Structure 1
Amino acid sequence: MQLHHSVAELPHLRRQKILLILERDGKVMASELSTHFAVSEDTIRRDLAELDTAGLVQRVHGGALPRPRDSGKDYFTRISETDEARTQLAQLAARQVQDGQIVLFGSGTTILQIARELPVDITITAVTASPLTAIALAEFKGVKVILAGGQLNPATMSVSGHETVRLIESIKADLLLTGVCALHPEVGITSVYFDEVPVKQAMLDSASRVVAVTTADKLGAVEPFVVAPCRRLHTLVTERHLASGNVADYQRLGIEVVQAQA
């Protein structure tokens, strides 16, 4: 009963749990969720409406179904596609790196692009759980690369597991460059993949400064697995025109926002 009470008081947490139930069961019914969370059906219908607006569920009579993801592209397909917006974001993020730093590089195609945009004469120690990012960084003569071991996720082309987390926890980095699956002012940083949550959390804990880099479509969105609140970020690098919300939503949380010109 105490769990139900706490969830009832935190709508964003309740919505996260609804997404988890939907992922497990393949559908949710408003009447059953009302009983489960000890709230009214009107409250649940508002939750489902919010999740539908965010593109996370498909509302149907009496409940909701999963919304098919609009991207079936694998990692290598995404790498091969030229994207001016991502290139600009990568260039802005690369300017955050300074000589002599220990830098944690997260996973994802945007982070790989950042590695490629670093100055040719940069001198840093780079730590990453992404083999492809490690290879890109190894092309720089002044970059010492430390690659974490673990189990490879083909969808993200990054590793996870106890070995990965242990290595990251042993390092005190000056800077973390991370991508995000979704970022919401209230819910925080969320991920599509459960296995990468502990790795992302360890990176956040190990870095003195955190720079998140993301396209505008991921702002205001929510994915099933919560990584950390937004306040863990120091700087957000994103596009000028946002699909949802306002940069002030993040600035009010104390986050510096750097936006691309185009």
Structure 2
Amino acid sequence: MSQSFRQPDILEIARTEGKVMVEDLAERFDVTVQTIRRDLTELANAGKLERVHGGAILPSGVTNIIYDERRRLNEDAKQAIARACAAAIADSSSVFLDIGTTTEAVAHELLDHSNLMVVTNNMNVANILLANKTCEIVVAGGSLRRSDNGLVGNLTARTIENFKFDTAILGCSALDEDGDLLDFDIQEVVVGQTLLKRSREVFLVADHSKFQRSAPVRIGSLRDIDRIFTDLPLPGALAESCRSWGTDMVVTG
């Protein structure tokens, strides 16, 4: 079966079953797994599917995919983004690390930094940074979101209001074509909005999959961000907007 006929059928299977798996599709269409991976990548690049470990799912504008699946998405890209971001963080500085799989990757890259104070609402980040013996770790209070070990809500925001960070490192669930940073949980969004006001410098870490996604709640805009670290160039109009806003772009890919 040719690719032009196969991809609509793959989408129909995803709509019917909720998820497609590489091995199952290869057997169903009698093609190699490499061929199916190419199909899924092209469909994901077109915004029609979202890649997950071993397959793909239909994209959602109101519900995020589960955390363990997000960890596996674009792992190499996230590591490159994290290395570039960590290199821009000075020793002996105060840093906030947000919820997210890419901010967790940044935490791993900060293990060799010295004398940091890191405040986080991400229990995973706190556990990672325990290996850095010179790092002071402050965990912001709040309601524990069991799905990703994140602390969210007004209590978290009030904790953040007691600080003025040298650098805040934010993630987002989606990046709209007009530069809006979007997320799924309004309790998490209030934390991000507070950080924008309580940080001298704000970095956004976001791989290219965020350009193709949608989410319902607005955190802020790229005009509020000092620097974005990503793996592929931003779409042309958005890149031009960043230049006009003075938002630096660091592209690792």
Give the TM-score, by structure 1 length. Answer: 0.68
Partner of 1:123: 115
Structure 2 vs 1, CA of residues 220 and 250 (structure 1 numbering), >3 Å: closer, same or farther? farther
The structural deviation recorded for 1:137 is 1.3
Partner of 1:139: 131
Give the SS at the match of 1:252.
helix
Partner of 2:106: 114
The structural deviation recorded for 1:73 is 4.8
* Percent identity of paired positions between Structure 1 and Structure 2: 24
Partner of 1:75: 67
Structure 2 vs 1, CA of residues 215 and 142 (structure 1 numbering), >3 Å: closer, same or farther? same
Partner of 2:176: 184
Give the SS at the match of 1:152.
strand
Partners of 2:47 and 2:200 in 1: CA distance: 32
Structure 2: which amino acid aligns with 1:215? D
Partners of 1:104 and 1:96 in 2: CA distance: 14
2:186 is the alignment partner of 1:229: no
Partner of 2:205: 213
Partner of 2:246: 254
Structure 2 vs 1, CA of residues 144 and 85 (structure 1 numbering), >3 Å: closer, same or farther? same
Q: Describe how 1:36-185 pairs up with structure 2 within 5 A.
A: 69=60, 73-79=65-71, 83-184=75-176
Give the TM-score, by structure 2 length. Answer: 0.70
CA-to-aligned-CA distance 1:124-161 (integer Å, 9 cap, x gap): 10000011101111210111000012111233421112
Give the SS at the match of 2:77.
helix
Partner of 1:36: none
Partner of 1:203: 195
Which runs of no fewer than 5 residues in structure 2 stay unpaired? 1-45, 49-57
CA contact (8 A) 2:183 2:219 kept: yes
Structure 2: which amino acid aligns with 1:228? G
Q: CA RMSD for the aligned pairs?
A: 2.7
Paired residues in the alignment total 199
Partners of 2:203 and 2:146 in 1: CA distance: 25
Partners of 1:244 and 1:220 in 2: CA distance: 14
Partners of 2:238 and 2:172 in 1: CA distance: 17
Give the SS at the match of 2:245.
coil
Give the SS at the match of 1:145.
strand
Structure 2 vs 1, CA of residues 238 and 212 (structure 1 numbering), >3 Å: closer, same or farther? same
Partners of 1:226 and 1:158 in 2: CA distance: 18
CA-to-aligned-CA distance 1:39-85 (integer Å, 9 cap, x gap): xxxxxxxxxxxxxx977xxxxxxxxxxx7539975223433667211
